Amino acid sequence: MAIVVDLDVQLARHRLSVGEFAAAVGITPANVAVLKNGRARAVRFSTLDAICRVLGCQPGDVLRWVPDEDAENAEGTENAEGTEDTEGG
């Protein structure tokens, strides 16, 4: 996946814990972790709206696009096709 969710900077800037943020947005802390760890496959506009409302930011402040060849470096262990690389290569 070439879309990266950058929540850590915004949460630190607002001094919000994951639990506080999740409660304010109306999602579970587990779903915040999915967003932060790059495992989300989709985000509802209503959730994105709530995230931006709580953080007082624009969608581009929490979402960023990276070219496919850079996606693996930005997201960790996912390969360019967006599947987990479980065989180490």
State mean pLDDT over 52-60. 97
User: Exposed e or buried b for every residue in 12-50, given b needs 16+ CB within 10 A?
Assistant: eeeebebeebbeebebeeeebebbbebebeebeeebeee
pLDDT value for 57: 97
List of domains in the chain: 3-75 (1.10.260.40)
> Residue 87 — pLDDT band, cuts 50, 70, 90?
very low
Q: Token digits for 80?
A: 């360019």
In angstroms, the CA 14 to CA 52 distance is 12
pLDDT value for 14: 95
pLDDT value for 75: 58
Question: Model-level pTM greater than 0.75?
Answer: no
pLDDT value for 84: 46
State mean pLDDT over 67-83. 58
